[in-house]
């Protein structure tokens, strides 16, 4: 009985660690495009597939601000 309970905790902790690690993917993509890393990280913790799609589809703010700086 104790072994089964310990195995359950181990798999739960492992699943949570993997869940958090995967949530970094959309956050890193969004951060590279000049958007909030923390905001996308929280978004991907709750809605990972949607956050990943949005992170890849959102416009690149870093290129936009660089172009604005060159134009003035």
pLDDT value of position 65 = 57
Tell me the pLDDT band of 11, cut-offs 50, 70 and 90. Answer: confident
Distances (CA, A) of 53 to 3, 6, 39, 47: 40, 36, 15, 10
Asked if residue 29 lies in contact with residue 44, where contact means CB atoms within 8 angstroms, the answer is no
Q: Please tell me the least confidently modeled range out of 3-7, 21-25, 37-41, 53-57.
A: 3-7
Tell me the pLDDT band of 62, cut-offs 50, 70 and 90. Answer: confident
- pTM to 2 decimal places: 0.72
Residue with tokens 């959309």: 26
What is the spatial distance between Cα 31 and Cα 10, in angstroms, rounded to a whole number?
Answer: 32
Burial tier of 7 (Cβ tally within 10 Å: 0-12, 13-18, 19+)? exposed
Tell me the pLDDT band of 22, cut-offs 50, 70 and 90. Answer: very high
């Amino acid at each position: 009985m104790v072994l089964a309970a310990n195995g359950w905790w181990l798999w739960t902790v492992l699943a949570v660690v993997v869940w958090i690690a995967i949530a970094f993917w959309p956050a890193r993509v969004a951060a590279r495009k000049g958007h909030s890393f923390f905001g996308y990280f929280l978004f991907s913790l709750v809605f990972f597939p949607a956050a990943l799609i949005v992170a890849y589809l959102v416009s690149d703010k870093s290129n936009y601000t660089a172009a604005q700086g060159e134009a003035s």
